[in-house]
Amino acid sequence: MYFFLSNLSFAFTSTTIPKMQLNIQTQSKVTTYGGCITQIYFYLLFAGLDDVLSTVMAYDRFVAICHPLHYIVIMKPQLCGLLVLVPWVISGLNSLLECLMFLWLPYYTDVEIPHFFCELNQMVQLACSDSFLNNMVLYFAALLLGGGPLAGILYSYSKIVSSIHRISSAQGKYKPFSTCASHLSVVFLFYCKVLAVYFSSAATNSSHSSAIASVMYTVVTPMLNPFIYSLRNKDIKRDLKRFFVMETTKGQ
């Protein structure tokens, strides 16, 4: 699980946060054309990686709970490496295709992006030519890389729920549930925030509200991931309780 988490930790924040911090420090919001393409490429790369790796982690939990005695045999280091390599390759090819399609679009000399980073959907809308083909590729990739992993996650957890349901003791049910709780929380946050962004932008057609909602899944959600996964650690829980007790005592 922590091997997959180490790869998941690259997602999102390494793309949007550095540029945002630079803008705040220099009080300049200018982005070069090359810098914009670079940001789009890595944003799509890490977004797809986050999505597909969530499916891989769901499969890992499925094997751990439904086939515990065969876990070490099935989840060998070679398979774990392959399960990480495949998301990198799929996401890399998708982001490369999207950027190549983006390079064909003509723009005016000075373009103002109504967003805090170069988001592909916003950039396609700002092009001064027909972008029908780009939109079709964008929607097809979103359906493939969004719907496919989600279907895999739902299938894995349907098998997990069925396996947990067959356990008779309450203690036996609690252990697999606690194993999956952190991953389910992250998946729920990721998909809810992404759906909220695109449905709200489609409904209101407001770039300002879309930018605010994007902060949630590009900044807030990745920032919460380490806390969510760390809460499974007993030492972390103990230290958090001690910290809150000390703060409460100090306040009184």
Indicate which CATH number applies to the domain containing 9: 1.20.1070.10
Predicted pLDDT of residue 83: 92
The token duo for 142 is 């979103």
Predicted pLDDT of residue 206: 59
Predicted pLDDT of residue 79: 92
Predicted pLDDT of residue 126: 82
Predicted pLDDT of residue 223: 72
Look up the pTM and report it.
0.79
Which strand (E) or helix (H) includes residue 108?
none
Can you list the alpha helix ranges (DSSP code H) found in 68-169? Answer: 71-74, 77-103, 120-125, 132-165
Contact between 43 and 117 (Cβ < 8 Å): yes
Predicted pLDDT of residue 10: 66
Number of structural domains in the chain: 1
C-alpha distance from residue 242 to each of 182, 248, 249, 251 (Å): 22, 10, 11, 14
Predicted pLDDT of residue 120: 81
User: Residue 35: which domain range?
Assistant: 2-251
Segment-wise mean pLDDT, segments of 10 residues, the chain, 252 residues = 74 71 83 86 86 89 90 91 91 91 82 79 81 84 86 91 83 76 78 67 58 70 69 70 78 64
Contact between 106 and 128 (Cβ < 8 Å): yes
